[in-house]
Amino acid sequence: MTEGERGEGPGNVERLLRGAAPHELFEEVRGVLTRDHGAAGAELLMADYASARLQPVTAQPFTADSVSAYNSSEGRAFGAQEPHVVSGEGGTTTVHLPVSVRGDRLGVLSVRYPAGVRIGGLLGPLQDVADALAHEILVADRDTDFFLQARRARRLTLAAEMQWELLPGRSCSRPEYDLGAQLEPAYAIHGDSFDWSASADHLTLTVNNGMGEGIDAALLTSLAVSALRNARRAGLGLADQAALADQALYGQYQGRLHLAMLLLRFDLDTGEVEVIDAGSPRVWRLRGGALEPFGLEAQLPLGMFEDTVYTPQRFRMLPGDRLFFLSDGVYDVLSPAGEPYGLHALARAVTNTRLLPPSQVPRALLEELPGFRGGVDASDDAMVVCLDWHGRPGRPGTEHGGGER
């Protein structure tokens, strides 16, 4: 029987999944794995909102134990984004496969095999199944809560529910760049948010820090993000995007609430960046092993006054640059001795995470904050966005141009 007749080719798997009911995707995958790939069983685990646990997908949520997204065999595949093979008792084998879409890490597919099965030639086809499942999960989330519910280690606050619905993902990879981001407290976030969108030639990145708490902060951020997306999708330039969002917030709140924002547009071909700093979260740049605050000319936050005019600034990225975008819930955190995190501790944390990909850096930085605070509970949201710039393949990308810092 040929591969096509057995239905195990990537295209055939994708067609099978497209025809399945959204909540039955994993059962369809389980059938493909046992029928066409000789598996004895399979399990799907979804990364929780804190990116700290991998939650089993079951018909009855919260009925199976989660595992660490770091200190486990499943976590090794999740972190490295590569298949990880584990030998078990009696010669059995389990293959853990990353379930990801364009760098956005969704979870892990674990496939069990009985003794005597040679795994080497199966890794490619199994990863094809995991990749097809990842794409279909994103589509299925429009029609079912099944996978979103599986991500929850506990209940989200309503404000956090609103904030997570706004996000484009938690990581993204393209040849020109890698992005990773994380919000804390993941299950009770208020006003911090981020957004990104890429075209053939540009990446637009927005980092927001809305004032207030709870629902008020979430509503403020939701309005700002929606206004920025509306302007961007209408083809407006960066200054007009900021102006439209500013007018929307001022029209709703008359200056009572405002939002700090950093709006950036990266030229993927040249590395030139157009940026508007509207009282934004802070930026640090790691270049050539040296970390430094990236000074920008701060302009008024969105919604503070009527008809504010915003003026873009420019700088240039070089291949190998790493940018960190931090909300005040990170850089202003104080140690028991009163030292801000952004003064010295950040440099140590950046050094410790320099070999990690951007998808893992935000979580690693945020995990240091409780210890730095000396066990004191956080008083504000915390957000970290990390961007690695590679430059467009085939382009030198190292010329010094006007406005470079």
Place of tokens 């850089």: 331
For residues 369-389, give the mean pLDDT.
82
Task: Write down the H helix ranges in 19-166.
Answer: 25-36, 73-80, 123-140, 146-150, 158-166
pLDDT tens for 292-330 read: 988 899 999 999 999 899 999 999 999 999 999 998 888
**What letter represents residue 19's amino acid?**
G
Q: Is the pLDDT at 2 greater than 50, yes or no?
A: no
Please give the pLDDT value at position 317.
Answer: 97
Give the whole-angstrom CA distance, residue 130 versus residue 16: 13
Cβ(202)–Cβ(237) below 8 Å: no
DSSP state of 388: E
Give the whole-angstrom CA distance, residue 324 versus residue 387: 7
Give the whole-angstrom CA distance, residue 125 versus residue 266: 36
The burial of 178, by beta-carbon neighbours within 10 Å (0-12 exposed, 13-18 middle, 19 or more buried), is given as buried
Share of residues in the chain with pLDDT > 90 (%): 72
Confidence category of residue 211, pLDDT binned at 50, 70, 90 = confident
pLDDT tens for 151-188 read: 999 999 999 999 999 999 999 999 999 999 999 999 99
DSSP codes of every residue in 74-106: HHHHHHHTS-EEEE-GGG-EEEEEEEEETTEEE
**What letter represents residue 70's amino acid?**
Y
Angle at 70 between CA 93 and CA 54, to 5 degrees: 75
User: Among residues 65, 49, 337, which one has the least CA distance to residue 181?
Assistant: 49
- What tokens were used for 66? 């989660």
Tell me if residue 382 falls in helix, strand or coil: strand
Q: Which of 51-65, 144-158, 386-400 shows the lowest mean pLDDT across its residues? A: 386-400
Confidence category of residue 1, pLDDT binned at 50, 70, 90 = very low
Cβ(286)–Cβ(321) below 8 Å: yes
Beta bridge partners of 206: 195, 263
How many helices and strands, by DSSP H and E, does the chain display? 12, 17
Please give the pLDDT value at position 369.
Answer: 85
pTM for this model (two decimals): 0.90
Please give the pLDDT value at position 403.
Answer: 41
Please give the pLDDT value at position 9.
Answer: 62
Q: Which of 57-61, 148-152, 357-361 shows the lowest mean pLDDT across its residues? A: 57-61
Please give the pLDDT value at position 342.
Answer: 79
**What letter represents residue 255's amino acid?**
G
Please give the pLDDT value at position 338.
Answer: 83
Cβ(290)–Cβ(347) below 8 Å: no
User: Among residues 278, 175, 271, which one has the least CA distance to residue 228?
Assistant: 278
Please give the pLDDT value at position 90.
Answer: 85
User: Among residues 40, 57, 54, 45, which one has the least CA distance to residue 112?
Assistant: 40
Beta bridge partners of 383: 183
User: Among residues 33, 31, 56, 19, which one has the least CA distance to residue 127?
Assistant: 33
pLDDT tens for 79-132 read: 999 999 999 888 899 999 999 999 999 999 999 999 989 898 899 999 999 999
Torsion of CA 271, 276, 280, 284, to 10 degrees: 20
Give the whole-angstrom CA distance, residue 44 versus residue 32: 14
- What tokens were used for 323? 């940018």
Give the whole-angstrom CA distance, residue 297 versus residue 360: 30
Element (H, E) at 352: helix 345-352
Kind of pairing, strands 322-326 and 382-389? antiparallel
For residues 21-38, give the mean pLDDT.
94
